[in-house]
Amino acid sequence: MDYKDYLPIFLDESRENLVQLNKLLLELEPDPDNKELLNEIFRIAHTIKGMSATMGFNNMATLTHNMENILDDLRKGKLKADRDIINLLFFSFDALEKGLELISTSGTDDSPLLKEAIERFSGREKIVESKPIPKETTPSRIILDQYNMLVIKDAIQKGFNAYEIHVKLRENTVLKSVRAYMVFKVLEEKGEIIYSKPSTTDLENEKFDLDFTVVFITKETEEIIKRLILQISEIDSVDIISIPIEEGLEAQRVEKISKPQETTIEKEGSRTLSKMGQTIRIDVERLDELMNLVGELVIQRTRLAQIREFDSTTDELARITNELQNLVMKVRMIPIEQVFNRFPRMVRDLSQESGKKVRLEIYGADTELDKTVVDAMGDPLMHLIRNAIDHGIESPEERVKLGKPEEGLIKLSAYHEGNNIYIEVEDDGGGINVDKVKRKAIERGLVAEETANRMSEEDIYNLLFIPGFSTSEKVTDISGRGVGMDVVKRRVEELNGTIRIESKLGKGTKVIIRLPLTLAIIQSLLVKASEEIFAIPLSNIEEIVRLEESDIKTVKNVEVLYSRGRVIPLYRLSEVLGLTSKNMCNFAVIVRTAGKQIGIAVDSLIGEEEIVIKSIDKMVNLNRNFVGATILGNGKVALILDVNTLASM
C-alpha cells in the first residue's frame, strides 16, 4: 500500500485523537477509577494503533498496543492508576506527539522518544504480551421504540423488507468513520436507514469499536444487500436479520408510548444519516485563495457603488458580497479551544517541576476567531502562562503565610467584544513590584532615573516588553532568561492587536490581549496627507478631534496635543512619512496602542471604508510604518498605517 496518499488524513485524524487523549488523561489523574474515562482512552489508543499499523508506522503501533494492554488491565481492576502509571501514560502521549511531528516532516516514526516509551513498558511482561483475539459472538438484537416500529409496520404493509444489519469491520481498520460512511452510502442508494446504533454522530467521530448496527427498509433481498456491503474494503462480516411484521406488532403492545416530543427527537435522530460525510477538511491555502477572490469582489463592489446610476444593482451586489464575505469568514473561524487545550497539561508539568500548586481555569474556549490568529497565539500564551507560574504564583508555604490558599490560580479566558476578541491571562500571585521594575530599568540604562520617576504604572509595566528585560534574580528552566514578553508583544502586534498589563502588588496580574477577528478584511478610516490617501485600522482609533493651532504645544522639541486635560504626543503624518505638505493639518486621529495614546495629524478625513489587506512584497523597499496596502474603489492603492510603529517612535 502506498500510504503517501493517505498521510494528510492520517496526520489530521491522529492530531485530533491526541488532543482528546491529552484532555482525558488530565481528567483521569484526579479520578483514576473512572471506567468511562478508561474506556474512552482505550478506544483512542486502539484507533491510533490501527491507523499506525495500517500506515506502516510500527513504533507508534507498538507503543499504542502496549498502552492498550495496560489500559485494559486498568479497566478490569487488575491494576491501579497510580502516579507512576499516569506519568507513564503522559510520557507515552508526549512520545506519540513527537512521533507524529517526525512523521509529518520526514515520513518516518523512527523517533528516539517513541523507542524510549516502548522500552519503559518492556519491564512489564504482562503488558507487552500479545492478547488472544476474542471469539466471534452473535450480535445482540437492538430494541426499537414505538415510532420506529410503526415505520417498519407501514413499510412492510407496502411491500418493503425491513432488515436489522450488523456490520463488523476488520481488526486494525484505518479510518473507521469512512468505512461506516461507505456502508451508509451504499445502503441509501437502495433504500432508507431509519435507525443506527451507535448514532450517526458517534460513527462520524469514530466513537465505536469495530461494529455497528442499522435498521434498513428496502425492496432488495438480503443476498443483494449483503453482497453490496461486502464489496467495501475492510468489512469483516455482515449479518442480516429480517424483521417480521409480527415482531413490530408485538413491540407496539408491550412498549410504553413515547411522549410526543421524544418521538420527534427520535425521528430527527434517525433521519440525520444524510449528514454523514458532510464535514470535510479544507486546505488553508484554498481558503486563502477564496478569501482573496472575495476581497477582489469587495473592491469591485466599492467601485460600482461610485456609479450612481446603478444604485439598485449595487445594493443587491452589496448584499450578495456581504453574505459571501461573512460565509467565508465563518469557514475560517475555529474555536480557540484548539490552543487552550494544550495548556492544562503544561500547567500540570510546570507545577510539578516548580514545586508549586497551580490550578488552571479556562473560560470561553468555544470563542471563535480566524484560524491564522489561533495558530499564531500558541507561543505567546505559553510564555504568559509560564511567566505566571514562575514569576507570579508564590510557593505553597509563602501563600499560606500571606493568608492565601496553597493552590495558586491561573485564569485563561477569551471573549468577543465588537469586532475584536479579548484573551486574558490572570493569576492570583504576588503581582508586579513597580519599584523593582523601575530599579532594574535604571540599572540597565533603559531609562533615566528622572524619567522613571515621572512614569505612570502602565508605562512601567510596558518596560517588561523590552527585549532582554527581566526582574528574575536567577534563571530557571521555566523562565527568567529575559525572553518571552517581547516575543509576546511582537507577535500580538504582527496580528494588528494590542497588549496591556494590569497588576496589584500582592493580589495578582492580568495580561489583556486584544485581537481582530480576522486579518483579511477590516474596517478602516481613510485619511489624506500631502494629497496621498492612507488607511488607519478602525480598531486602533479612540477618537477624532479637530485641530486648532492653539491646541498644539511643544515640549522638549516634541509636539503635543492638549485635549480634555490630556497631553498626547502628536505626529504630523506628512512629516513622519517624509512627504512635503503645504496644507494645514485639520484633524488629529487619536489611537491607542502599546498601552499609550498618540495623535496622528492629517490634512483631511475621507471616511470609513471596508478594506481588503494586501501584503507587500518583501522586494519593495517600503517604510516600516505600513502593515500592507489596499485597493480603493477608484482603483488607486492606499497604504495601511502600522500605528504600533508610530507609537514606538
C-alpha cell at 250: 408485538
Domain assignment present for 97: yes
Identify which has the larger pLDDT, 326 or 459.
Answer: 459
Q: Kindly state whether residues 498 and 352 are assigned to the same domain.
A: yes
448 and 359 inside one domain: yes
Q: What is the CATH number of the domain that holds 599?
A: 2.40.50.180
Q: Say whether both 73 and 34 belong to one domain.
A: yes
* Contact (Cβ atoms closer than 8 angstroms) between residue 423 and residue 394: no
Same domain, 351 and 498: yes
Q: What is the pTM of this model?
A: 0.60
Taking 90 as the threshold, does the pLDDT of residue 167 lie above it? yes
Name the more confident of 365 and 327.
365
| pLDDT of 544 | 92
Place of cell 444524510: 274
Instruction: Identify which of 351, 356, 390 has the alpha carbon closest to the alpha carbon of residue 471.
Output: 390
Which string of DSSP letters, residue by residue, matches 82-104?
Answer: -HHHHHHHHHHHHHHHHHHHHHH
Q: Domain check: are 538 and 584 in the same one?
A: yes
Q: Is residue 138 part of a domain?
A: no
Question: Between 140 and 429, where is the model more confident?
Answer: 429
How many folded domains does the chain comprise? 5
Q: For 456-464, which contacts have Cβ atoms below 8 Å and span 24 or more sequence positions?
A: 457/503, 458/500, 458/501, 458/595, 458/596, 459/595, 459/596, 460/434, 461/432, 461/437, 461/500, 461/501, 461/503, 461/595, 462/501, 462/594, 462/595, 462/596, 463/437, 463/438, 464/432, 464/437, 464/501
134 belongs to a structural domain: no
pLDDT tens per residue across span 292-320? 777 777 777 777 766 655 566 667 777 77
Is 136 among the domain residues?
Answer: no
Residue 298's CATH number: 1.10.287.560
What are the backbone dihedrals phi and psi of residue 28, each rounded to the nearest 5 degrees, phi first?
A: -70, -35
Do 423 and 527 lie in a common domain? no
pLDDT, tens digit, for every residue of 374-428? 888 888 999 999 999 988 999 999 999 999 999 999 999 999 887 788 999 999 9
Residues 608 and 595 in one domain: yes
Q: Rounded to whole angstroms, how far apart are CA atoms 226 and 77?
A: 40
List the grid coordinates of 69: 494492554
Q: Which of 71-80, 241-250, 603-612 has the lowest mean pLDDT?
A: 241-250
Q: Provide CB contacts within 8 A for 30, sequence distance 6+.
A: none
CATH number at residue 462: 3.30.565.10
Position 13 scores a pLDDT of 84
pLDDT for the residue numbered 581: 67
Give the domain-ending residue among 455, 483, 516: 516
Higher pLDDT, 134 or 4: 4
To the nearest 10°, the Cα dihedral for 571, 576, 581, 584? -10
> What's the chain's Rg over C-alpha atoms?
31
Residues 168 and 295 in one domain: no
Residue 484's pLDDT is what? 65
| Residue 317 counted as domain residue | yes
| Rounded mean pLDDT, 195-211 | 83
Number of other CB atoms surrounding residue 281 within 10 Å: 9
Shared domain for 92 and 19, answered yes or no, is: yes
Higher-pLDDT residue of 622, 236: 236
Q: What is the pLDDT of residue 8?
A: 81
Let me know if residue 110 belongs to a domain: yes
Average pLDDT over residues 495-515: 90
Instruction: Judge if 582 and 469 occupy the same domain.
Output: no
Report the CATH number at residue 223.
Answer: 3.30.70.1110
Residue 392 falls inside a structural domain: yes
pLDDT class for 141, splitting at 50, 70, 90? low
Instruction: Name the grid cell of 453.
Output: 520617576
Range with the poorest average pLDDT among 164-168, 254-258, 368-372:
254-258
Among 225-229, 270-274, 309-313, 482-486, the minimum mean pLDDT is found in 270-274
pLDDT given at position 447 = 85
Residues 378 and 417 in one domain: yes
pLDDT at 364: 93
Q: What is the pLDDT of residues 228-268, one digit of tens each?
A: 999 888 899 999 998 875 544 444 333 333 333 332 224 33
Residues 187 and 46 in one domain: no
pLDDT computed for residue 400 by the predictor: 94
Given 240, 275, 310, which residue is the final one in a domain? 275
Q: Which residues are catalytic?
A: 46, 68, 387
CA 106 to chain centre: 25
Domain boundary among 128, 160, 188: 128
The continuous run of DSSP H or E covering 441 comes out as: helix 434-443
Tell me the average pLDDT of the chain. 80
User: What's the pLDDT band for 4 if we cut at 50, 70, 90?
Assistant: low
CATH of the domain at 44: 1.20.120.160
Query: d(Cα 647, Cα 593) in Å, to the nearest integer?
Result: 7
Q: What is the 3-state secondary structure (H, E, C) of 329-352?
A: HHHHEEECHHHHCCHHHHHHHHHH
The parent domain of residue 201 ranges over 146-275
Q: Is residue 534 part of a domain?
A: yes
Specify which residues 589 forms β-bridges with. 544, 600
